[in-house]
Amino acid sequence: MTELEPALRELRSTCREVAVDLRSRALAVDARPLEMAAHLDSETLTSLRTASTPRRFRDCDDSLFGASYTGSCLARVVANAELACGDAGILSANTGASLAGLAVDALGSDDQQERFYRAIADGRTWTFFAMTEEARGSDASAMQTRLDKDPGGGWRLNGAKRYVANAVRGGIGVVFARTGPSALTIRAALVQLPAAGFDAHLLDMIGLRGACISGLAFDGVRILPDELLGSHLPASRRGMWGAGRVFNVMRAQIAAQALGVGFAAWGYVREQRPGWSGLDLMSARLAAARALLYDVAATIDGSPGDRRSPSIAKLHVTDLAVQATRWAEYALGPGSLAEHPLLEKWCRDVFAFEFMDGTSNILRLNIAPVPARQGLAS
């Protein structure tokens, strides 16, 4: 079992404290996700942005969270579980590096990282990470969005993406596309907006509305040579290799957010029914899931290419979180969803984690033993 070092215990404690502020904003963001002006300058969201920015790109260094928030996968997991217990929706509604930052950190050159983090330094810029396509889901190897050679130099981005958080209001992001038919030709492009040929529209989703999940279309968007991430890396490490490592951290982080929602539902029932004996089983299941997640995060820190461990964590925790919200619904009796709008919101939000970065069936394919030499899912 992974024991947290003092710095991580302090991080967890800080996140628990600020989660209260996140929760106080949750229903407003769910109702009006495009109206973020009242929230972005709050100490909590400002500190979260600062903490998710590498130290060398920070304008100030007074984040509530110190340096440890993005220092390791374990730190990300510890923080995200506590923050999402406040509310996951507003976490996804914040400006800042987010998942695109993970990709830029993994695949970007120093200059590209500089460009990315300078672009978001104003605290008003959302980022986006565009991988999923309508007909292909999370099967990244089958993606159809193309980077076509531009006779004038560089590339032209053509195709479409779907289910991309915050793209409709994004300022800069990472878009995956292919320059040719093989897996090695899948590359990530840094796209800064506005850009001719780039179109984004908001998708109306059942929950996690703070994420402003969007659809994207690219019609000859110009990508300059220095906007293709990973060119400084060996050919085998430019595209999906980097994305795969990003996915592993992402999956653990998403599992942590799902766990946070599960704990939120459990804690809400505890508040409504103090002393109720029915709390114990779900409490034990959630605590065990947290221990599993901590172990997995520590494993990823030591072995970032391991796909099986984060798949196990995400598969188990996202399912448990859905069960926890149902359990809470039943525990609070008839009319509980209409009477407790936070709980009702969590019941909708918790579905989102299933669809992020690997559905349950994709994860099962990663987890199941396969004969030697046989490939794995994405």
Name the residues that contact other proteins, by CB under 8 A: 132, 135, 137, 139, 142, 162-163, 203-207, 213, 273, 276, 278, 322, 326, 329-339, 344, 348, 351-352, 354-355, 359-361, 364-365
CA distance 318 to 360: 9
Least distance from other proteins to the Cβ atom of residue 331, Å: 5
* Cα distance between the two ends of the chain: 28
* Contacts with 351 (C-beta within 8 Å, 6 or more apart), sequence order: 206, 207, 208, 322
User: Is the preceding omega at residue 334 within 30 degrees of 0, hence cis?
Assistant: no
CA distance 17 to 48: 13
Least distance from other proteins to the Cβ atom of residue 152, Å: 36
Least distance from other proteins to the Cβ atom of residue 205, Å: 5
Nearer to other proteins by Cβ, of 57 and 351: the residue is: 351
Nearer to other proteins by Cβ, of 87 and 354: the residue is: 354
Nearer to other proteins by Cβ, of 172 and 362: the residue is: 362
Nearer to other proteins by Cβ, of 152 and 371: the residue is: 371
Q: What separation in angstroms does the CA of 310 have from each of 70, 287, 300?
A: 17, 17, 8
Least distance from other proteins to the Cβ atom of residue 375, Å: 9
Mapped onto helix, strand or coil, the DSSP state of residue 216 is strand
For the chain, the maximum distance between any two Cα atoms, rounded to a whole number of angstroms, is 71
Least distance from other proteins to the Cβ atom of residue 238, Å: 24
Least distance from other proteins to the Cβ atom of residue 354, Å: 6
Nearer to other proteins by Cβ, of 77 and 315: the residue is: 315
Q: Which two tokens stand for residue 159?
A: 């195709």
CA distance 275 to 266: 13
Nearer to other proteins by Cβ, of 37 and 338: the residue is: 338
